[in-house]
C-alpha cells in the first residue's frame, strides 16, 4: 500500500482469505519505510496502535447471533460479571440509535418501555 502526500494509507478492500467463526479482534498495521535524515537513509519499521475491537464474521446469516452476543459482552459488560439495568438499557439505546441512523441530539424515534415487553 502506498502513502498519500500527508502520510496516510487507505485500505479500502480488506478481505479475510478463509472463513472464520465470529471473533472479536483488533487490527494493527506494520510497514517498513525508508527514512532519510541528513542525507542518510535508514530502514525503519512502523506499527500502528491496535484498532478498537470489531467482529470478524464471514457468514452473516448464521453467525449474527453469536457476533451480537460477543459485542454485547465486550461493549456493555467489558470485564465485569454484571452491570446495572441503567447501563444495560443505555447499551441498547446507543445501538438502536446507531442501527436506525439517528442523531443523538435530534432523536426521531426514541425507545419506549413498551418496546421491551
pLDDT tens digits, one per residue of 60-101: 677 777 777 887 888 888 888 888 888 888 888 887 888 788
Quote the distance between the C-alpha of residue 37 and its chain's center.
Answer: 36
Query: Which pLDDT belongs to residue 41?
Result: 94
HSE-up (13 A, CA, CB side) for residue 74: 14
Report residue 40's pLDDT band, with 50, 70 and 90 as the boundaries: very high
HSE-up (13 A, CA, CB side) for residue 24: 13
Calpha distance 66→23 (Å, rounded): 9
Query: Which pLDDT belongs to residue 77?
Result: 86
Tell me: pLDDT of 48 over 80: yes
- Average predicted confidence (pLDDT) for the chain: 80
Mean pLDDT of 12-32: 75
Tell me: pLDDT of 45 over 80: yes
The cell for 20 is 472464520
Query: Which pLDDT belongs to residue 1?
Result: 59
Amino acid at each position: 500500500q502506498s502513502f498519500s502526500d500527508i502520510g496516510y494509507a487507505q485500505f479500502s478492500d480488506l478481505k479475510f482469505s478463509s472463513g472464520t467463526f465470529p471473533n472479536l479482534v483488533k487490527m494493527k498495521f506494520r510497514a517498513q519505510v525508508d527514512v532519510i535524515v541528513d542525507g542518510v537513509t535508514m530502514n525503519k519499521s512502523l506499527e500502528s496502535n491496535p484498532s478498537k475491537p470489531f467482529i470478524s464474521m464471514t457468514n452473516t446469516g448464521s453467525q449474527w447471533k453469536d457476533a451480537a452476543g460477543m459485542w454485547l459482552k465486550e461493549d456493555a459488560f467489558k470485564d465485569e460479571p454484571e452491570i446495572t439495568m441503567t447501563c444495560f438499557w443505555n447499551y441498547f439505546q446507543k445501538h438502536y440509535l446507531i442501527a436506525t441512523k439517528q442523531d443523538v441530539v435530534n432523536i426521531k424515534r426514541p425507545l419506549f418501555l413498551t418496546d421491551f415487553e
